[in-house]
Chain A
């Protein structure tokens, strides 16, 4: 047996390397608790009008560091840690380094463009930024710009794709991002424990809806009426009904779908989330201004990415408070509608790992099994997406550490997780650029991308947002934020 073949699988697959990289970045962030600023230099992209202010280090301790130096350090750090992974997995490091370098810098330019104030600022931010209008797309528009850039290069410059192909690893990037995401969700859950029991209870209700009602409905529509195989229908159902990208990737891993399947679904998720973000907050302002908490919860249930859900929560908060002040003559406190949106979204996120486990068991024993074949318990472990373990680990570690900390300690934990989260954003953006690179328009059309988009459209606007509105109404109607003063 060769040395390469004898290498334990713990260091052999992208799935496990996503866990190691995610945990490593997370651990470095946690050192903040001991007063060490190990990754405080990581770059953060700010909303900008003056491009010289677009970049800055994520930690105030590095305030004097120019943004471009911060970006350069971030690039070098990511290049080194991912190259180690490539090397151990047996890849071509020099080809990877070349490809990663090109991909990283293009991706980052896309992200910076997406943070341009006239593109990104939401209505509640316009005054603060000092502009009169914007496209209201939030900083997440950088993901879409990266996706479009990747699609253009992937379809019209095949030579470019070939040049960087060793580093085109959307699945690896997104899994690493999801491991780091566990810490961010853990932190949000920790902060939620201080909220009123009623809101927590209603957050739990959101899980019932997203997992037990939305999921089977979308799965049924995709399988029965649009003739998709389970391999496509399950990630699609998770992407539309649970929490977009993370859920689609986790489901794809759980049912052993080909890597490209959840990746394609993810690109639909991010595009539709932006469409929702543009429509739903204004619809809520027009028809639901007298039900502020229903509106907030509705955003959390209907808008399918964390960022877009939080942004739509912030938008309804600003839009409805403004309208209520003139139409109802009442000034509500800021932040309550946003809190409702983020609370239901956090509860939905928490259970992704459990749902992935349930699906991996069902698929192993009931759906992928051949007639007469006996399935051992080990097959569950074999099929289970390992990066979900990393996601669960960071989530639980943050909860355990955070529950024993003082207020001051929690501030440090918040800052440390925030530093790690800076890398999550970069991995997300790298994912969307590389998704674009591997997506061939012609083939996608031939293989049913149009049908996928149609299922998404029909399910989302046909029943998901309406059931979400109904549930939000049942649990939150009549509740209003406390008045100012």
Chain B
């Protein structure tokens, strides 16, 4: 767990790169999609449901 206490400090070592997994693609897609849809909903709400007195 610790990065210390073993004499020599650890350094980052990257594993071998692999292309995006289907689960990662889904995470990116769902996250972005949900974000854009919710953004649209919130913009609509900000103008029509909780408007700020400009």
Give residues in A with beta carbon < 8 Å to B: 13-15, 91, 154, 161-162, 165-172, 197-198, 201-202, 204-205, 208-209, 211-213, 215-217, 219-220, 223-224, 227-232, 258-261, 263-264, 362, 366-367, 434, 437-440, 443-444, 447-449, 471, 474-475, 478-479
CA–CA, A219 to B18, complex, Å? 14
- B10→A438 contact, CB < 8 A: yes
Asked if A216 meets B4 with Cβ closer than 8 Å, knowing A208-B38, A366-B23, A478-B54, the reply is no
- Closest residue on chain A to residue B33 by CB atoms: A212
CA–CA, A357 to B17, complex, Å? 25
Nearest 7 CB-CB pairs, A to B? A212-B35, A168-B4, A366-B23, A443-B11, A438-B9, A213-B35, A216-B28
- B5→A165 contact, CB < 8 A: yes
- Closest residue on chain A to residue B32 by CB atoms: A216
- B12→A438 contact, CB < 8 A: no
B contact patch SS? loop
Pick the contact of B27 from A154, A216, A232, A449 — CB < 8 Å?
A216
Asked if A216 meets B10 with Cβ closer than 8 Å, knowing A209-B39, A228-B17, A367-B23, the reply is no
10 residue pairs A–B, Cβ–Cβ below 8 Å: A162-B7, A165-B9, A167-B4, A211-B35, A231-B15, A367-B24, A439-B9, A444-B11, A474-B43, A478-B52
Which chain B positions have C-beta within 8 A of A154?
Answer: 9
Question: Nearest Cβ in chain A — how far from B7, in angstroms?
Answer: 6
Question: Nearest Cβ in chain A — how far from B23, in angstroms?
Answer: 3
Question: Nearest Cβ in chain A — how far from B22, in angstroms?
Answer: 8
- A209→B15 contact, CB < 8 A: no
Question: Nearest Cβ in chain B — how far from A204, in angstroms?
Answer: 8
Which chain B positions have C-beta within 8 A of A223?
Answer: 20, 24
**CB interface residues, B 9-54, toward A, < 8 Å:** 9-18, 20-21, 23-24, 26-29, 31-32, 34-36, 38-39, 42-43, 45-46, 50, 52, 54
Asked if A14 meets B2 with Cβ closer than 8 Å, knowing A212-B32, A215-B31, A229-B14, the reply is yes
Pick the contact of B3 from A168, A198, A201, A447 — CB < 8 Å?
A168
- A437→B9 contact, CB < 8 A: yes
Asked if A434 meets B20 with Cβ closer than 8 Å, knowing A161-B9, A208-B42, A448-B14, the reply is no
Q: A205-B39, A229-B16, A232-B14 are in contact. List 10 more A-B contacts (CB 8 A).
A: A161-B9, A165-B5, A208-B38, A211-B35, A258-B12, A263-B3, A366-B23, A366-B26, A444-B12, A447-B14
Question: Nearest Cβ in chain B — how far from A170, in angstroms?
Answer: 6
- A213→B32 contact, CB < 8 A: yes
- B5→A224 contact, CB < 8 A: no
- A91→B12 contact, CB < 8 A: no
Question: Nearest Cβ in chain B — how far from A96, in angstroms?
Answer: 8
Pick the contact of B2 from A172, A362, A439 — CB < 8 Å?
A172
- Closest residue on chain A to residue B31 by CB atoms: A216
Give residues in B with beta carbon < 8 Å to A: 1-7, 9-18, 20-21, 23-24, 26-29, 31-32, 34-36, 38-39, 42-43, 45-46, 50, 52, 54
- B28→A212 contact, CB < 8 A: no
Which chain B positions have C-beta within 8 A of A211?
Answer: 31, 35
- Closest residue on chain B to residue A165 by CB atoms: B4
- A212→B38 contact, CB < 8 A: yes
Max chain A CB contacts within 10 Å: which of B18, B20, B21, B31? B31
Question: Nearest Cβ in chain B — how far from A154, in angstroms?
Answer: 7
- B2→A440 contact, CB < 8 A: no
- Closest residue on chain A to residue B54 by CB atoms: A478
Asked if A229 meets B42 with Cβ closer than 8 Å, knowing A171-B2, A223-B24, A362-B23, the reply is no
- Closest residue on chain B to residue A223 by CB atoms: B20
- A260→B11 contact, CB < 8 A: yes
- Closest residue on chain A to residue B13 by CB atoms: A447
Which chain A positions have C-beta within 8 A of B9?
Answer: 154, 161, 165, 168, 437-440
Question: Nearest Cβ in chain A — how far from B17, in angstroms?
Answer: 5
Which chain A positions have C-beta within 8 A of B28?
Answer: 216, 219-220
CA–CA, A440 to B11, complex, Å? 7
Asked if A264 meets B12 with Cβ closer than 8 Å, knowing A15-B1, A228-B17, A474-B43, the reply is yes
- B36→A213 contact, CB < 8 A: yes
Which chain B positions have C-beta within 8 A of A264?
Answer: 12
Which chain B positions have C-beta within 8 A of A227?
Answer: 17
- B38→A447 contact, CB < 8 A: no
CA–CA, A475 to B15, complex, Å? 42
Max chain A CB contacts within 10 Å: which of B3, B15, B34? B3
CA–CA, A366 to B24, complex, Å? 8
CA–CA, A227 to B18, complex, Å? 8
Which chain A positions have C-beta within 8 A of B50?
Answer: 197-198, 201
- B31→A259 contact, CB < 8 A: no
- A208→B39 contact, CB < 8 A: yes
CA–CA, A209 to B13, complex, Å? 31
CA–CA, A205 to B27, complex, Å? 20
Question: Nearest Cβ in chain A — how far from B19, in angstroms?
Answer: 8
